[in-house]
Amino acid sequence: MEKFIIEGGHALQGEFTPSGNKNAALPILAATLLTDEPIILHNMPNILDVIAMKNLLESLGVNIEELNENSWKIQAKEISFKNLDPDLCRKIRASILLAGPMVARTGNLILPPPGGDVIGRRRLDTHILALKKLGVEVNYDRSFHFSAKSLVGADILLDEASVTATENAIMACVTAKGQSIIRNAASEPHIQELCHFLNKMGAKIDNIGSNTLHIDGVNKLHGCEFTIGPDYLEVISYVGAAAVTKGEITIHNAGNQYLDMIRLVFQRIGVVWETKGTDLFVPKDQPLCIEPDLGNAIPEISVMPWPAFPTDLMSIAIVVASQSKGSMLFHDWMYPSRMYFTDKLVGMGAQIVLCDPHRCIVQGPTQLFSENLESPDIRAGMALVLAALSANGTSILRNIRQIDRGYEKVEKKLSILGARITRE
């Protein structure tokens, strides 16, 4: 099993460019099933989840040619309905994204239960309800059976603003007959990218970026060339790494247009940055002081659907708060296992009280010390990398394939910035 050896106490210095957004790349890859014409995608992140999705598409008959490490030519000219490998589907939750485009293109799909991070129950009901509104029949017998003779546009009210359910609904609607409206739609940057990609293929999607999407179905989509935008989760992870190591870095093409709310939240835990065009600059001298609420009350950071603070950055924010002066309550109501990695931080010396599966209180700053660790999921794994970078001594972090699922070349990028990290 591969592991990271991390010697803490070295300030990050330098500059780097983030990889493409994993959460945009996965639905865009699924959407290539909607046309038989070639598609060229640039800035594809070279990570395990994307490779797993590539393998799933190839198992359906899609031809994928790697033009270079981060550019692919994809053509779903002749795809066949067949049973997918259950082990492959269990590797990523994004396998559910095959449902919308496969039913729209072929009328059928048998999908084994999708996998993903173990951060609590992640319901699929919203996907099924949305697809049923369009005329899809869904049955479950150890696998999901999706079938439809034709899809007809509908007024779809999602019972929760689920990201992947919104993406599935969008992909099913773009070639459905007539007009569709998706209400209570999620609007994260990766959903906006999916919509722009589909429009470039000939789809007609309006109100992109809002929670009400209007889609006029078209008969056929065509090929196109598209560049995946920067991964804002990676950007903020490296902002956090610079802050906890008292470093100074510049991030090129940072996607600043999506960072306003995240910036407000990180200011509350004492982290600031400057924007310089499309670049983001993290200065060395950070306040690292938590802002109390009015009346000197303990402030709270709670995750909410976009454009509020995203759940995927909760773990990073907790580590940063452990190095900031003051107390902060963190609340993630979405996933009941998101907070469980905090026991590893406590073992490193952090002062954290786990109130319940959804809430914890962090008191900082505290000196962290090296520890033998294991990555429980993508985001907690990266958060533990940050903790190890700021710790006194050399830490060992195992199960790093979890991190490789969402972050490209972590040890190489951090080493360029001056971190002492090796993969063994």
The active-site residue out of 49, 117, 231, 312 is 117
Cα→Cα distances 417→13, 100, 196, 339, Å: 5, 41, 33, 29
Q: Amino acid letter at 322?
A: S
Known catalytic residue at 117 = yes
CA pair distance 410, 423, nearest whole angstrom: 10
Q: Amino acid letter at 415?
A: S
Smallest Cα–Cα separation from 287: which of 379, 350, 364, 359? Answer: 364
The residue to which tokens 């994004």 are assigned: 94
CA pair distance 128, 182, nearest whole angstrom: 14
CA pair distance 78, 81, nearest whole angstrom: 10
In three state form, how does the secondary structure of the chain look?
A: CCEEEEECCCCCEEEECCCECHHHHHHHHHHHHHCCCCEEEECCCCCHHHHHHHHHHHHCCCEEEEEECCEEEEECCCCCCCCCCHHHHHHCHHHHHHHHHHHHHHCEEEECCCCCCCCCCCCCHHHHHHHHHCCCEEEECCCEEEECCCCECCEEECCCCCHHHHHHHHHHHCCCECEEEEECCCCCHHHHHHHHHHHHCCCEEECCCCCEEEEECCCCCCCCEEECCECHHHHHHHHHHHHHCCCEEEECCCCHHHCHHHHHHHHHCCCCCEEECCEEEECCCCCCECCCEHHHECCEEECCCCCCCCHHHHHHHHHHHCCCEEEEEEECCCCCCHHHHHHHHHHCCCEEEEEECCEEEEEECCCCECCEEECCCHHHHHHHHHHHHHCECEEEEECCHHHHCCCCCHHHHHHHCCCEEEEC
Catalytic residue numbers? 117
